[in-house]
Amino acid sequence: MFKTTEDSRIQISELMKPSHANFGGKIHGGYILSLMDNVAFACASKHSRSYCVTASVNKVNFLNPIEVGELVTMKASVNYVGKSSMVVGIRVESENIRTGETKHCNSSYFIMVAVDEEGNKVTVPGLILTNKLSAKRFIKSIIRRDSDIKRSKDLHQLYKNVEDHLEQLKDYRVKIDFK
């Protein structure tokens, strides 16, 4: 079975209230992350027709602050599918409801895994790529995945041979004092 990205696309909007703000008066990043996790779950579950869990989040950059009183909209779509995993791309925008001005606040990729009632992984439907943008997103997800695997292997190797890399630390604000 295959589905298009449009079949599972989700969009939610929520007005930002003072109770969502941090001490600086901006919307707390943790609150936005929680909303993003919810929309990723909804999108992945809609695609897979299964309960889904968050396996990882690939890089979150907060590009612009979100103000109290702004309308935040999150747009999510399945960008990639594996056997039981999915990459859900999320774009976060805020809108000043008085002026209509919108700003891109954040984009991120949530890796979700479909599971059954016992927590076992289940196979998800494949993805039908209907346009160049969906193909580009799928390819970028593969590149990010391959890069993450390589980075993980490189870091694992580094832990085995940390002595080989100590010289690199001379340019950093660190003092080595092994006992």
Looking at CATH, the fold of the domain delimited by 2-128 is given as Thiol Ester Dehydrase; Chain A (3.10.129)
- Indicate the DSSP class of residue 99: T
- How high is the pLDDT of residue 167? 83
- How high is the pLDDT of residue 168? 84
Residue 38, both tokens:
């919810």
Residue 170, both tokens:
């001379």
Percentage of residues in the chain having pLDDT higher than 90:
85
Long-range contacts of 145-148 (CB under 8 A, 24+ apart): 145/80, 145/87, 148/58
Amino acid identity for residue 148 in this structure: D
Q: How many CB atoms lie within 10 A of CB 72?
A: 22
Q: What is the rounded distance in angstroms from the CA atom of residue 51 to the CA atom of residue 116?
A: 7
- How high is the pLDDT of residue 166? 85
Tens-level pLDDT at each residue, the chain (179 residues): 999 999 999 999 999 999 999 999 999 999 999 999 999 999 999 999 999 999 999 989 999 999 999 999 999 999 999 999 999 999 999 999 999 999 999 999 999 999 999 999 999 999 999 999 999 999 999 999 999 999 999 888 877 778 877 888 888 999 888 88
Q: Which residue has the tokens 């602050």?
A: 65
What pairs with residue 5 in β-bridges? Answer: none
CA distances from 34 to 28, 64, 110 (A): 10, 17, 12
Q: What is the rounded distance in angstroms from the CA atom of residue 51 to the CA atom of residue 86?
A: 12
